[in-house]
């Protein structure tokens, strides 16, 4: 079993490769974002701290993650959300009535003026609960601001939503009228 440092390093590198820069590492993704596990292991072995990584370690990381960033099926792996590289769009689904977004206080004014925008990613990332939103927001600021999203009204008005994982939902850009600072 891999230690916490290796697990964190592996998750970050895997995210970078599968979500943002597969071409740089000669990793081919199919139209849904899948790639062969053996190929990704070969790529990960190029990093000095992951040279001894085993397939079992990768399987353990994916099975033990709380945010379900990755999915494995039939010797293939993919990132479930967060892509900046284009992949096939997900199937729209009706979201929970309320979702949340954690962010830095320095972005709040812009968000409340312009909405939640996908920026360089394919989708806006939303959390299903406050705890997940706080955890996500803390990556940007120690004291994040939480924005409540009225996803029911947004959905009813034609905004498309997609389930990224058990705790993460994705959407198109969201106008300020769907947002409220908690």
Identify the structural domains of the chain with CATH numbers, from first to last: 4-79 (1.10.10.970), 98-181 (3.20.170.30)
Query: C-alpha dihedral over 87, 89, 95, 99, to 10 degrees?
Result: 40
Per-residue model confidence (pLDDT) at position 9: 85
Cβ contact 96:128 at 8 Å: yes
**Cα 133 from chain centre:** 12
> For the packed helices 4-15 and 55-64, what is the interaxial angle rounded to 10 degrees?
90
Per-residue model confidence (pLDDT) at position 89: 60
Could you tell me where the DSSP H helices lie in 21-165?
37-44, 55-64, 105-114, 130-137, 151-156
Which helix or strand (DSSP H or E) is residue 10 part of?
helix 4-15
Question: How many residues are recorded in the chain?
Answer: 182
Q: Which residues on adjacent β-strands are paired with residue 124?
A: 171
pTM, two decimals, is 0.65
Considering all CA atoms of the chain, what is the largest pairwise distance in Å, rounded to the nearest integer?
51
3-state DSSP assignment of residue 150: strand
Q: Tell me the per-residue pLDDT of 67-78, one tens digit each, with 9 for 90 and over.
A: 788 999 999 999
Question: Taking Cα atoms as reference points, which of 172, 155, 174, 22 lies closest to residue 87?
Answer: 22
Which stretches in the chain have pLDDT values below 70?
Answer: 87-89
- As a whole number of angstroms, the distance between CA 137 and CA 143 comes to 8
Give me the residue label for tokens 């600021």: 141
């Amino acid at each position: 079993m891999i230690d916490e440092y290796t697990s964190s390093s592996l998750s970050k590198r895997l995210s970078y490769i599968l979500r943002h820069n597969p071409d740089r590492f000669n990793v081919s993704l199919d139209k849904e974002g899948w790639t062969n596990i053996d190929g990704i292991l070969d790529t990960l072995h190029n990093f000095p701290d992951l040279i001894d990584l085993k397939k079992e370690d990768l399987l353990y990381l994916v099975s033990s993650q709380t945010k379900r960033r990755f999915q494995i099926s039939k010797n293939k792996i993919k990132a479930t959300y967060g892509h900046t590289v284009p992949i096939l769009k997900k199937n729209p689904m009706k979201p929970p009535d309320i979702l949340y977004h954690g962010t830095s206080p320095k972005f709040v004014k812009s968000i409340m003026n312009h909405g939640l925008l996908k920026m360089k990613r394919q989708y806006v990332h939303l959390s299903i609960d406050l705890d997940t939103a706080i955890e996500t927001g803390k990556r940007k600021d120690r004291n994040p601001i939480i924005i409540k999203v009225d996803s029911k009204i947004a959905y009813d008005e034609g905004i498309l939503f997609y389930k990224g994982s058990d705790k993460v939902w994705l959407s198109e850009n969201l106008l300020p009228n769907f947002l409220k600072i908690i």
